[in-house]
Amino acid sequence: MMALLHKEFLLAWRGRARVAASLTFAAATLLMFSFSAGADGRLLQRLAPGFLWLAILLASTLTLQASFDAETQDGALDGLILSASAASIFYAKALTNWLFLAALGFVLLPLIAALFDAQLGALDRLMSVLLLGTAGLAAPGTLYAALAGRSRAAGLMLPLLYFPLVIPALVSSVKASELAFFGDPMNQWGGWMSLLLAFCLIFWSLCGALSTAILEDG
Amino acid sequence: MTGMIQGGWEFVWAAYGITGVAMGIYIASLWIRWKAEDKSE
Amino acid sequence: MNLQPIIRADGLCRRQGLRWVLVHLNFELQTGESLLLAGGNGAGKSTLLRLLSTLTPPSQGELELFGTSVKVNRRPQRNRIGLLGHTNQLYPELTPSDHLQLWSRLAGMELPKGLLDRVELADRAHDPARTFSAGMCKRLALARLMLLNPDLILLDEPFGQLDAQGVSLMQEAVESWRAQGKTVVLATHLIERGKPLCDRALLLAHGRLKWTGPAAELSASMVAGADS
Amino acid sequence: MTRQRVAAAFALVGLGLLSWGSYLGLWVAPPDRYMGDVQRIMYVHVPTAWLALVVFMLAFVYALLFLIRRTWRWDALHEATLEIGVLYTALLCIQGALWGKPTWGVYWAWDPRLTTVAVMLLSFAGILSLRHFLDDPLRRASWSATATILASANVPVVYYSVRWWNSLHQLQSTPKTVNSAMVEPLRINAFGLLALTIALIMIRSWIAEARRRRDLAPPLPEIEA
């Protein structure tokens, strides 16, 4: 497991040009969202948490897919399966994807603050939402990326399966971020976070258990 | 208590109509597919 | 140890998609024997190697490796199998020394010195694999087998893409494995290269077993004739 | 031949009950005290909702059975329930919107139940199209079964999150009036649709199984020495 994690980090480091590109992509989507919403500063400020999560979601489809491209390009996955269990391969990948998406979120925060004049409010809360929310995206996203990467029409298949599945994670992340941005008069933040936590627990365990059926040949 | 909603039959007919037609088309498509498989076996 | 066949296939069949690519194969291989898999393109050689590597399960029939069926726990078998398939199993962004480090850590072993020297890649140890030619990638994949030193070694077209020096490197590696008593299965359509390295031969055509016997008795005309 | 008779009997009984129940619902049952005649949509809407739920639960069970047992029968049933479930949830969304317009004033009010159904429709339609993009029957079966399990596990989570998300303008959509003249057509239609659904699942799974038999003909028997 440590060896697999080390490999994932090494892959991310050696392929850092790709990392930078996906960051640029996320920033570009933020700009596009603002253009589509119009120049109303108030409205943009209110939509900022939603835009943050949409940018992360869209960028995640690209990075998730790229993370499995490296495995399938030259059959590296075959070598891994011969020497490690499917679940450990899955968890190593999901963990790195999670950390990457969380880092992406952290980088986007100041950008959001500047673009939409959003007060970052309770930063500690925002950080924990980002951590937990991206964890919710990473586990099902990694499993579906493994699946989509080896079917026809990979680019189409991943969002088709992944988007509907992460709706609860997205809803609770956006809500919890809103509460962190704009204050939490009714004290609902904890509730959304527990929902998010439940989602993460369910899907981190379920996806790990099902990873053998996807990664091993039938 | 604003009382009973008046009318709205067009929505009732639309709901029943769409459901009926969709089910009919689906049953027909099942029938066609089943016949095609039957023939090829 | 030698009483038990290392490979035993009984009515082995495999379907890829909707096509049957291997049909009713029956054969055995003893530990320490080396086997030449011959046959034209599409005869089923690569699929058979993937089955022997446990990466692909049989669609029908039975396959036993090291005396146990591949249908039960495959982990112990996998630790003893090395596959050099038609892909090199490399990461384009990683360097040879990254690869060696990954492989040795996955296997939980010390990384021996001089491995890259043996495959003549030492001077490119810190360049990413995407800058390598196909032959150099294959040498790196060979270094993996040298590192892991498994009991059952599966080679798919090992001489393809290699230059003359690479070919002799590969031949030496196979010879040294045989000297150590390892079992080698070598699939190639270049039977003249493979024959001297193998004890037995197995000729496939259209997924069926056409002929089996001592490797020395296999001839090019038999391979050509089997396909028609 | 006999199993075809069974399916035909189920289908005929189902269609008969459905026409009887719909007749009662459209012409005999009294209009609802608040919703008036619009409420008659319920007699088709609620049975569709029940059956959609039942069909997707079956899909989950069949997916699980396939992954455990690896038997083709479960895959055929899985495919059948997926397709019929997608059809029912699509109808459910349309019926819900048609009911929403006269009662809520809008077609789509982000009612938690309706929204959950829309998410289910999206998820399972995605799985259905995944099946079209996988050529290998075994891979198709086990990967779509995996996706079905994930999507099913998600349904309650979606429901709770949407309900909470939209808690500020919660809308009540179930009529509380329980009148025997209203319960009767509902019950008849529910049983009718149940019978019809059984027939549809049977027939659809035979089609899946016939196609699989054609695709996966065993290797030719001639064995050369």
Q: Letter for the amino acid at C48?
A: L
Using pLDDT thresholds of 50, 70 and 90, give the confidence band for residue C49.
very high
Query: Does any domain span residue D222?
Result: no
Per-chain mean pLDDT for chain C: 89
Q: Helix-strand-coil percent breakdown of chain A, rounded to 5?
A: 85, 0, 15
Instruction: State whether residue C82 is helix, strand or coil.
Output: strand
Q: How far apart are CA A155 and CA A159, in angstroms?
A: 8
Q: What is the pLDDT of residue C8?
A: 93
Structural domain including D120 reads 2-170+185-210
Nearest-Å Rg of the Cα atoms of chain D is 20
**Contact between chain C and chain A (3 or more Cβ pairs less than 8 Å apart):** yes
DSSP letter at D36 equals B
Q: Which ipTM score applies to this complex? A: 0.89
What are the pLDDT digits (tens) for A99-131? 999 999 999 999 988 888 877 778 889 999 999
Q: Which two tokens stand for residue B3?
A: 């009382």
Q: How far apart are CA B19 and CA C173, in angstroms?
A: 70
A75: nearest CB among C81, C85, C103:
C85
Query: Does any domain span residue D161?
Result: yes
Among candidates B37, A6, C143, which has minimal Cα distance to D76? B37
Q: What is the pLDDT of residue B8?
A: 84
Look at D14 and C4; give whichever has higher pLDDT.
D14
DSSP string of C53-113, one letter each residue: TTSS--SEEEEEETTEETTS--HHHHTTEEEE-SS----TTS-HHHHHHHHHHHHT----T
**What is the domain count for chain D?**
1
Query: Does any domain span residue D179?
Result: no
Does residue A214 belong to the interface with chain D, where contact is any CB pair within 8 Å? yes
Q: Letter for the amino acid at A122?
A: A
Q: Which CATH class is domain C5-227?
A: alpha beta
Q: Where are the domains of chain C?
A: 5-227
Instruction: State whether residue D55 is helix, strand or coil.
Output: helix
Q: What is the pLDDT of residue C90?
A: 93
Q: Give the domain CATH number at D90.
A: 1.20.120
Strand partners, C83: C154
What are the pLDDT digits (tens) for A167-192? 999 999 999 999 998 888 888 899 99
Q: How far B38 CA sits from the closest chain D CA (Å)? A: 8
The contact set of D with B (CB < 8 A) is 11, 22, 26, 31-38, 40-41, 44-45, 48, 87, 90-91, 94-95, 98-99, 101-103, 196, 200, 203-204, 206-207, 210-211, 213-214
Query: Does any domain span residue D63?
Result: yes
Residue numbers in A near C92 (CB within 8 A): 70, 73-74
Query: Does any domain span residue D103?
Result: yes
Q: What is the pLDDT of residue B7?
A: 76
Query: Does any domain span residue D142?
Result: yes
Strand partners, C217: none
Q: What is the pLDDT of residue D170?
A: 46
Q: Which helix (H) or strand (E) holds C87?
A: none
Contact C119, C138 (CB under 8 A): no
Q: How far D186 CA sits from the closest chain B CA (Å)? A: 14
Instruction: State whether residue C61 is helix, strand or coil.
Output: strand
Query: Does any domain span residue D71?
Result: yes
Contact C40, C205 (CB under 8 A): yes
Question: Global pTM?
Answer: 0.91
Q: How far D77 CA sits from the closest chain C CA (Å)? A: 20
Per-chain mean pLDDT for chain A: 91
Q: How far apart are CA C17 and CA A151, in angstroms?
A: 12
Q: How far apart are CA A140 and CA C197, in angstroms?
A: 48
Query: Does any domain span residue D219?
Result: no
Q: Work out the number of other CB atoms within 10 angstroms of the CB of residue D224.
A: 9
Strand partners, C60: C13
Q: How far D167 CA sits from the closest chain B CA (Å)? A: 22
Q: Which helix (H) or strand (E) holds A115?
A: helix A86-116
Residue numbers in A near D122 (CB within 8 A): 163-164
**Report for A6-20, A161-175, B2-16, D177-191: range of highest mean pLDDT:** A161-175
Q: How far apart are CA D147 and CA C121, in angstroms?
A: 44
Contact C95, C128 (CB under 8 A): yes
Q: How far apart are CA A155 and CA A64, in angstroms?
A: 11
Q: Residue ranges of chain D with pLDDT lower than 70?
A: 1, 167-179, 219-225
Beta strands C60-65 and C5-16 are antiparallel
